[in-house]
Structure 1
Amino acid sequence: MLKKNLYAYCPCYAFANRSDRGLGAILALGCRSTTSAWKVIQSELVVSDDVMVTLKAMSAYGVLPEIDRSDINSQDRQAVERALERVVDSAFREMPISIVDHCRNAATVILSRWLVKEGASKDLLTKDLAAVAKVVERDPYKKIAARDAAEVIRKLHPRGKANEQEMRSLRIPVEEDAEMAIHALGFIIREIGWAK
């Protein structure tokens, strides 16, 4: 029974033979009932004549939902996707301070673009997260929980700055704080209806 669910290693020669070496290809790892999506970021032929493929997870900590691109104005899709990509990239490589910073930026980009799509002033595209969060809670939007999630991210952000740590006696962010910021960002995406 175990053998049916166990997949043995097999070299990815198909990637080595492609002109693009498989860069950007999406692989599903796991079995039929549980899979995770991974992007090929590098493939190379090593000395032993095997193909080594370097993968990057497509979601951070499994909590960032996939964005429904059809809900986003076409001119805003690239900015939203780029902001989320920075979060995902940082989640596996960078320190908690940087992850929180990328979550703050992504929350600002997502909420401001959502508000403009819903009829708010385009001036919001130039505002910081605090100003955007205030608008999100007002009529006609009334996304109070999204505002609260944005506030969590916003309040984690100063903890990464030495002067703020000193002035307010704040502790330095740890991995769990970064996870919380990512969870809050995922909540915002679901709350405004942009998750698939």
Structure 2
Amino acid sequence: MVSVAQGAQPLTFQGNGSLAANDPAAIGTVSITAADLGLPPSQPADPFEFTLDFTELTHLSGGLDSVTGEPLPSEVTLLNQDGYPRGELESFALGGNGQIIGVFSNGLNRVIAQIALGSFANVGGLIRVGDNLFSATPASGPAIIGAPETGGRGTVSGGVLENSNVDLGTEFSNLIIAQRGFQANARTITAADTVLQEAVNLVR
């Protein structure tokens, strides 16, 4: 609660919308004490006083012309805006830290979801279950879930295709070994067939 030095008085306006001349309520001193603010009375500058000047106030939104004193046309003017209009989700982007950022039609961007990653104390202890999937085992320990780029976890990449994760040199070597093994087996079968054919000829 605040008190006005002159007390509560109405403001009187003239027909043109301006404040009546010499209106005693046009200028008033407002006094605020520490008790009004819930503070101990020992606070400095008690009471705090300031003056309110209503001499330029009119009951018309357009005010008065500074030259003629006539009322100006009324209009609504936006002085400031501290929010955003209603928006709809238009697209989204994926950050390296796993955050899914929504892009809205009002120009606002907001985090709408978070992707988590799991790490293991012993990656070598995971067991392969097929289709490029692995399963935790007692040797690997349980999955430690957390956000990407934290705790030694990797990053998340959106809109990219993973390259082959095999060693081409090793795979070619394995292919050559398999081919040589097939050739050796084929020759063994050929040799056995030749021996059997010779045995048949001897019987004849």
User: The TM-score by the shorter chain falls in which range?
Assistant: under 0.3
TM value normalised by structure 1: 0.19
Higher relative contact order (CA 8 A, sep 6+): 1
Q: Larger % of helix: which?
A: 1
Q: Larger % of strand: which?
A: 2
User: Rg larger in 1 or in 2?
Assistant: 2
